[in-house]
Structure 1
């Protein structure tokens, strides 16, 4: 099972403020993000799931939550933790999933993800939600693509 984190991260590590992105909309980033995850299941927290209900990403949503275990969306599946999420994805016939947040989910999955695709947003923003710290020595950047308003980086975890 390949687990891939996808996130947009400001220079100061901010990923959100009051449940929203703290920077102006970047259409090119939204497009590449949606295209990347369109044909795969996503792993996300309940608040992130609720914030995306109008336009749910991925083919299936595996929702980690401490407060809700049933959802009124056919493509949504409850998971109690990492192992449960992976088992659910495998039961759906997939060998890859994208971890799409929020901060607690990124933090929980950080020790086990294989790749990270990070949209680096220039500048520092005020926020209340941050991408988790990670040891850059355990990772190698394998691709860096500059766009007008962000740089897309792909990181792969070093194999020991």
Structure 2
């Protein structure tokens, strides 16, 4: 199973402010994101899960939390750390016949899973924004851009870790 983070980030790596996106809605980004994760398991933190509860992404949600044991949603499972979450995502990927699980955030979750990632699908939003949450820095020498698509107001870049199979 490949583990891929997916995020939208401003030029200054800001991804959120007060639990919301700091830039005006970008429909094309939401659409490509939803289509990409639709049939795959997703890993996300409890606060991010709670913010998406009315419209949960992915086929199965693995919620990383040390403070709760369940979230009351049939498609969601709680994991108390990155190793358990990766194992659960692998099981869910096998069950659904997909080869990728996506990490959806928030900031601490992106940071926790960064060493485990095979890829990153990042919507690089035009401009810098004020915010309280950032996507973690990465060593660009360890990564290469495998695909790039320009959209209005953002560029979608698919990064792959060098030395790992695509």
Could you list the per-position Cα deviations for residues 100-135 of structure 1 after superposition, in whole angstroms to 9, with x for gaps in the alignment?
A: 000000000001100000000011100000000110
How many residue pairs end up in the alignment? 160
Shift of 1:90: 2.5
1:119 aligned residue: 123
* Greater mean alpha carbon deviation, residues 88-97 or residues 50-59: 88-97
Match of 1:102 among 100, 106, 113: 106
Rounded to whole Å, the distance in 1 between the matches of 2:118 and 2:43 is 14
Aligned partner of 2:24 in structure 1 is 24
Structure 1 residue 149 displacement after superposition: 1.4
Tell me how large the CA RMSD over aligned residues is: 1.0
8 Å contact from structure 1 (residues 89, 95) kept in 2: no
Q: TM-score, normalised by structure 2?
A: 0.94
Secondary structure of the corresponding residue to residue 4 of structure 1: strand
SS of residue paired to 1:126: coil
Q: Secondary structure at the match of 1:67?
A: coil
CA distance in 2, matches of 1:90, 1:8: 24
Q: Are the counterparts in 2 of residues 4 and 113 from structure 1 also a CA contact under 8 Å?
A: yes
Name 1:11's counterpart in structure 2: 11
Please report the TM-score for the alignment, with normalisation by the length of structure 1.
Answer: 0.97
CA distance in 1, matches of 2:20, 2:84: 28
Moved over 6 A (4+): none
In structure 2, the residue matched to 1:33 is 33
Q: Which moved more, 1:88-97 or 1:102-111?
A: 88-97
Q: Does 1:150 align with 2:128?
A: no
State the shift of 1:6 in Å: 0.2
Choose which of 126, 130, 134 in structure 2 pairs with 1:130. 134
